[in-house]
Amino acid sequence: MKVLLATPPQPASAILPRRYQAFSGPLKLLGGNRSILGIQPPYGLMYLAAYLRQAGHEVSIVDGLRAAPDEVMTRIQRERPGVVGLSCVTWNWSEGRRLAQTIRAHHPDLT
């Protein structure tokens, strides 16, 4: 089965405290197209992907801190997974919920 695992997209303004947001531009140079805090890969999704691959599933990961905001939807269209898994924490829960609602609205057949 094809599986897509993702973290929701996050602007630097949601990650950095307000007093540091003015410095988000230079920090993006160190962390791809997101803030320096986005350098950490989504380890939890990577562990889950490794397990699923060992079980014979085809897995891809979208790191929302590095990918374009619409990358998850683009990958769903391109890869046609049977399952989409989202990983959220407290600070990106609202974006994760919004992404889940968007996925459900456009792809009600996905698990």
Q: Residue 97: is its pLDDT beyond 70?
A: yes
Q: Is the pTM of this model over 0.85?
A: no
Residues 6+ apart with CB under 8 A from 99: 6, 8, 9, 64, 72, 86
Torsion of CA 78, 83, 98, 75, to 10 degrees: -10
Q: Residue 92: is its pLDDT beyond 90?
A: no
Higher pLDDT, 50 or 40: 50
Report the DSSP beta bridge partners of residue 106. Answer: none
Q: Residue 94: is its pLDDT beyond 90?
A: no
Q: Single out the residue of 111, 94, 76, 85 nearest to residue 7, CA to CA.
A: 85
For residues 70 and 36, the answer to whether their CB atoms sit within 8 Å is: no
Q: Residue 32: is its pLDDT beyond 50?
A: no
- Measured between alpha carbons, how far is 31 from 39 in angstroms, rounded to an integer? 5
Backbone angle region of 85, left / alpha / beta, with phi > 0 → left and psi within -120 to 50 → alpha: beta
Q: What is the pLDDT of residue 11?
A: 64
How many of the other CB atoms lie within 10 Å of CB of 101?
10
The residue written with tokens 């769903």 in the block is: 76
**pLDDT-based confidence at 9, cuts 50/70/90?**
confident
Q: What is the pLDDT of residue 16?
A: 63
Average pLDDT over residues 51-62: 97
Average pLDDT over residues 74-99: 91
Higher pLDDT, 94 or 32: 94
Q: What is the pLDDT of residue 64?
A: 86
